A and B are shown apart, each in its own frame.
Chain A
Amino acid sequence: MLSTAEIHEIEEAIKVVPVKKAACIEALKVVQAHRRWISDESLKDVAEYMKMTAEELDSVATFYNMLFRKPVGRHIILVCDSVSCWVMGYDKLRDQLIQKLGIKYGQTTPDDRFTLLPNCCLGTCDTAPAMMIDDDLYKNVRIDQLDDILKKYS
């Protein structure tokens, strides 16, 4: 069931477009913002609300990198793996994160704290290597800074 708050936000998005269905990505974003990820159950609820079939909506949901159809942790770590960060040795950063968190790309720590994901160019190539945790961008990341950075996220 969609919550009152979710329905209110979805309605705001529908106002902006001439066709209700056009707001379906916004609707999925709303649900994800409230529930962290989009379960089959949530997907069906959104589809019903948007007057779409679940299959049609899932074809949209699974297309986009930042719509999560599997459970994720409280914080999402996105490591930029595009070419400038590759040249500047992002792999050391990636390996350290894998080691420190004890998880691989696509996995979530057992305490539900972090999900680790690779990510395409974050658009800050002059300060490579870069990563994002939730809404925070980290530039010129050094391995010796990782502990202090991770500490900020409980």
Chain B
Amino acid sequence: MEKPLTHHIRDDKRPLDLKEYEKVGGYEALRKVMKGMSPKAVQDLVKESNLRGRGGAGFATGLKWSFVPMDVPGPKYLIANADEMEPGTFKDRILLESTPHQLIEGMILSAYAIQADHSFVFLRWAYKTAAQAITQALREAYEAGYLGKNILGSGYNLEMHLHTGVGRYMCGEETALLNSLEGKRATPRAKPPFPQISGLFGKPTIVNNVETLCNIPHIVNKGSDWFRTLSRTTDTGTKIYGVSGKVKKPGAWELPLGVTMRELIEEYAGGMQDGVKFRGALPGGASTDFLVEEHLDVKMDYTHVAQAGSRLGTGTLIILDDKTCPVGFVQNMEHFFAQESCGFCTPCREGLPWVDKILASLDLGEGREEDLKLLDFHTKYLGPGNTFCALAPGAMEPLQSALKYFRKDFEQHVHDHRCPWKENGHR
């Protein structure tokens, strides 16, 4: 089983420096491209590879790039979205901390493909180890002539900077990220125009997730046909999956796209802890719909998870067990979303705190019959098309699916005037 993104990561997770990265084939893709591949050829290769964005939305990377106008003069930007903050998600951290040069090489190649001349790593403030690793790697890359003017004698110039954020979930949304980089509140922008046309400082801009960018050197080196053989399904490549919750060995692993949820939980995460049973899981962070026991054999790729009624999202499972209250579980996330709403559009600003309060009252045993209808109402009116960006619709995904799969538990909270889990000394 090939693990292009992580096979070279050290056991102790310390970052590979430039020499070590070069020893495992690092910057060969950059040499190959600078020697004579056109930007268009790089774009076409990535298109053929069928690589889809690993940040959550799963948009085709090559297609995204192709919307950048190539003939306009003036600056263009390439940004690595390293603002990993989706609850339950810890996959980009591994790449950022342990193999920073892989990200930088992926960024240079991607920037070249759209002929960007400036690039930023937008890094989450909490990732202190990653910030050190990237700072060091950037210095080395500049010294080696991989960044700056006339990269490897090709005539291509690229500047790259690290920007560490100041904490707001909204910064993960690409247009809000751009506002933040411009020194503004991280509120989302109206689309169109899409960032590919008018992004950072009004210039053409591509924002890609860290894991997405890390794939690019390998696709350049080994080709799109090779990339398509990595997965078990028609969605191509590997994925860094993760599992958290009450399993024996929580962790993250790079695996072929299309492994099943059962394999992830049983083979990689060591199965459920003794004394607890699996009840459900969010397949890709807090803003995805629950999958339950009947979905254990669903292939964890974009297509199959969507067919099962959820989204692959970030590919990091959060497990709900039978000793944990689904109402409390969802309330924790809705509280998060309510706090992190930027307050820019009314349904999200007003609706999410309402949902949070209803769930909190259910948890305290103060829920009323009509509360479930109110929750149902919100799942529709905070859903797609009714809010400015995807935050509130994302927040509704775990709620609507919890109301579907665990409705009896919600009803029991109302009828018994208490949380049955708390009564039994559980969560």
Q: Do A and B come from one complex?
A: yes
Chain B residues lying within 8 Å of A22, measured Cβ to Cβ, are 181-183, 201
Choose from A16, A84, A89, A122 the contact partner of B318 (Cβ within 8 Å). A84
Q: Is B246 within 8 A of A124, CB to CB?
A: no
- The answer to whether A106 has its CB under 8 Å from any CB of chain B is no
**With a CB–CB cut-off of 8 A, which chain A residues contact B182?**
17, 19, 21-22
A125–B241 Cα distance when bound, in Å, is 12
- Verify if B169 is at the interface (C-beta below 8 Å from A): yes
Cα distance A84–B244 in the bound complex, in angstroms:
6
Complex CA–CA separation, A65 to B201 (angstroms): 24
Say if the beta carbon of A53 comes within 8 Å of chain B: no
Complex Cα distance A152/B339, Å? 31
Residue in chain B with minimal CB distance to A127:
B250
- Determine how close the nearest CB of chain B comes to the CB of A50; give it in whole angstroms: 8
Tell me if B329 and A126 are in contact (CB < 8 A).
no
A72, chain B: closest CB distance, angstroms = 14
In the complex, the chain B residue whose C-beta lies closest to that of A135 is B128
Q: Is the CB of B166 within 8 A of A67?
A: yes
Contact call B185/A83, Cβ cutoff below 8 A: no
Q: Which of B126, B336, B342 has a CB less than 8 Å from the CB of A132?
A: B126
The smallest beta-carbon distance between A79 and chain B, in angstroms, is 13
Give the nearest-CB partner of B321 in chain A. Answer: A87
Q: Is the CB of A126 within 8 A of B243?
A: yes
Q: How far is the CB of A101 from chain B (nearest CB, A)?
A: 21
- B-facing residues in A99-154 (Cβ within 8 Å): 119-128, 132, 135, 137
B415 to chain A, nearest CB (A): 25
**Complex interface: stretch among B39-47, B79-87, B212-220, B401-409:** B79-87
Known A64-B168, A65-B167, A83-B318; judge A123-B127 contact (CB<8 A). Answer: yes
**A52: shortest Cβ distance to chain B, in Å?**
9
Evaluate whether A66 and B318 lie within 8 angstroms (CB atoms) in the complex, with A25-B180, A120-B87 already known: no
Chain B 87-98: CB-based contact to A (< 8 A → 1; otherwise 0): 111101100000
Contact A65 B318 (CB under 8 A): no
Contacts of B333 in A (CB 8 A): 82-83
Q: Is A23 an interface residue (CB 8 A)?
A: yes
Determine the residue in chain A with the shortest Cβ distance to B286: A83
| Contacts known (A25-B183, A83-B332, A120-B340); A126 close to B87, Cβ less than 8 A | no
8 contacts between A and B (CB under 8 A): A22-B183, A64-B165, A64-B168, A84-B245, A84-B318, A87-B319, A124-B90, A126-B90
